A and B are shown apart, each in its own frame.
Chain A
């Protein structure tokens, strides 16, 4: 899964927004935030699938903390995009 396809979906972008707001969330907390703050009422299974796509693209990582599986945002793939197409370019000077 490439990063462009991963962030093409609005639900997956909302997941990243919430993980930036607080790193290290469980599936339960993410689903509560998506429902209450974004009006996204997808099933837990659907959100878990979205998380799988984001993880495959390197945009999140997961780790078991205690007995729960938590999710973290990982910005490296987006940093790579910004480096590939830098924000400061010659076109501003012309």
Chain B
């Protein structure tokens, strides 16, 4: 068994597609119109055949209360791996991205948390080399 799909609920799929591609730097993989909404997935340019990330509409009534509650406590919807959290932080802040947590050294990892503008907090994480 493999993990081929993960994702987040977003308040606007087209806005989310722009943020996840133009700002974060992922690549569009699928954009299949399905009536009111679309099946939209992105992939990392470093791993275009790897796990797809689904930008799922948040129209189910349970989604907003759930996401609002975890955002209130600062809990990210998911986490992406980066080589250098500080470099990504500088690049994304320059692109206008808001961070709720700047790069923080937590021992084995360095993390930061950003707002994806579509309803979610997203963690980026750098694994330090193991001694």
Chain A residues near B (Cβ < 8 Å): 22, 25-29, 32-33, 36-37, 44, 64-70
Contact = CB atoms under 8 A, between A and B. Distances in A.
Contacts of A66: 98, 100, 115
A36 B111 CA distance: 12
A29 B68 contact: no
A29 to B, nearest CB: 5
A26 B107 CA distance: 19
Contacts of B36: none
A29 B74 contact: yes
Given A33-B106, A67-B68, A25 B101 contact: yes
A23 to B, nearest CB: 12
Contact of B71 (A29, A36, A67): A67
Contacts of B109: 36
A26 B104 contact: no
Interface residues of B, number: 20
Interface SS of chain B: mixed
Contact of B74 (A22, A26, A36, A37): A26
A25 B99 CA distance: 12
Contacts of A25: 74, 101
Nearest to A35: B106
B104 A33 contact: yes
Most chain B C-beta atoms within 10 Å of own C-beta, residue among A22, A29, A44: A29
A27 B73 contact: yes
A70 B113 CA distance: 13
B68 A32 contact: no
A44 B75 CA distance: 11
Nearest to B75: A28
A69 B72 CA distance: 5
8 contacts: A22-B104, A26-B74, A27-B75, A28-B76, A32-B104, A36-B106, A69-B72, A69-B73
A29 B101 contact: yes
Given A66-B100, A66-B115, A68-B100, A27 B74 contact: yes
Interface string B19-48: 000000000000000000000000000000
